[in-house]
Amino acid sequence: MAKPTTPYYLIDEQKLLKNLEIIQQVRELSGAKSVLALKCFATWCVFPLMRKYMDGTTSSSLPEARLGHEKFGKEVHAYSVAFSRKEVREVSTFASKVIFNSVSQLKMYARDTRGLPLGLRVNPGVSHSHYDLADPARRYSRLGVASLEEAMEVASLITGVMFHFNCENDDFKGVAATLDQIGEKYGPLLQKLEWVSLGGGIAFTKKGYPLKAFCRKLKAFQKEFGVQLYLEPGEAAITGCGELVTTVLDVVHNEMDTAILDASTEAHMLDLLIYRISPKVNVPGPGRYPVIIAGRSCLAGDVFGTYKLKSKLAAGDEVRLADAAGYTMVKKNWFNGLPMPSICVKRLNGKLETVRQFSYKDYLEGLS
């Protein structure tokens, strides 16, 4: 087929497979299960590949849970910071587990769940995050029950708990130490349960991560407390497998060159603005020519970053931005009415497939 028109998100299944094989290795060596965190990645055109290596999905809303059920299958873990009764009743028609964020919601809606296994999110009070915005144990956090006593009082209503205490944590020793703290503090509760989710944010697919030690730790935790562990990889499942492929529309100069792409941080890679980070540029490679790479929206701060590249950029040049899978397509928006990037997949056989294109009609129908 003809090369897609930029901008487009490109998912490479060969690169995705490398992460999935590591997830499979962890499943086999540790006995822990892995469910895909849809809040990070919900591009279901590659679910047929992912479901071969994962045990299901975990969600943060009714629509996410429904997507997991309809497009991924297998286990569906339904969590939300706050459910309505209508949502609980609907999600309970297809979920495998319903996980509540608070004791009050658990008590309020336990009878509306059709006898499903129920869980409770517990805030261990410790976490690893590079950003306060994403820290689940930040001061005044509303995420999970902070009191062991409060959780123990409703232990008879639940079969498991979820601890989500990591964000892009590649420090195995830190994860292991926190697991020890959780075991020591919550042991009496864990002994009463059947499963424990450790949430996402553990970067165990990163190159050089001590997988064997990680698996031994997970296996030992399960044996000590007699529980089935779950991991909720999001970034770990899809890191390094996606790019945002763009074209330079113009180069302007104000003290230094700024290349303006046919894409936008605000609209197409929103996490870059939220956390004030810059993506790696895969194409062109690094070099000696300084340039600011920016988006085409009217937002003054719509800037991808400042780089030194191997060649000067000019209108018509291709620029490929790395790590454009996690928290990109799930957050893309119609700011400025900018054209929405297509979604393309490079399949395992090398074939490039455009699986979704967007038009003015999509923009129009998202408004009223």
**Amino acid occupying residue 194:** E
The residue out of 238, 262, 293 marking a domain boundary is 238
**One domain, residues 267 and 212:** no
Average pLDDT, the chain: 96
pLDDT category of residue 137 using cuts at 50, 70 and 90: confident
Host domain of residue 193: 14-238
**One domain, residues 57 and 95:** yes
pLDDT tens by residue, 40-53: 999 999 999 999 99
**One domain, residues 76 and 134:** yes
**One domain, residues 154 and 187:** yes
pLDDT category of residue 281 using cuts at 50, 70 and 90: very high
pLDDT of residue 62: 98
**One domain, residues 169 and 259:** no
The residue out of 202, 219, 238 marking a domain boundary is 238
**One domain, residues 165 and 252:** no
**One domain, residues 76 and 125:** yes
Among the listed ranges 129-138, 173-182, 217-226, 313-322, which one has the minimum average pLDDT value? Answer: 129-138
- Over residues 275-297, the mean pLDDT reads 97
The residue out of 211, 238, 265 marking a domain boundary is 238
Which CATH number characterizes residue 333's domain?
2.40.37.10
pLDDT of residue 168: 86
pLDDT tens by residue, 150-170: 999 999 999 999 999 898 899
**One domain, residues 71 and 207:** yes
pLDDT of residue 288: 97
pLDDT category of residue 130 using cuts at 50, 70 and 90: confident
pLDDT of residue 134: 86
- Over residues 333-355, the mean pLDDT reads 97
Name the residue among 330, 339, 344 with its Cα closest to residue 359: 339
Into how many domains does the chain fold? 2
Name the residue among 168, 173, 244, 237 with its Cα closest to residue 210: 173
**One domain, residues 278 and 154:** no
Name the residue among 25, 14, 18, 19 with its Cα closest to residue 40: 19
Is residue 1 included in any domain, yes or no?
Answer: no
% of residues, the chain, pLDDT over 90? 94
pLDDT tens by residue, 54-76: 999 999 999 999 999 999 999 99
pLDDT category of residue 1 using cuts at 50, 70 and 90: low
**One domain, residues 270 and 220:** no
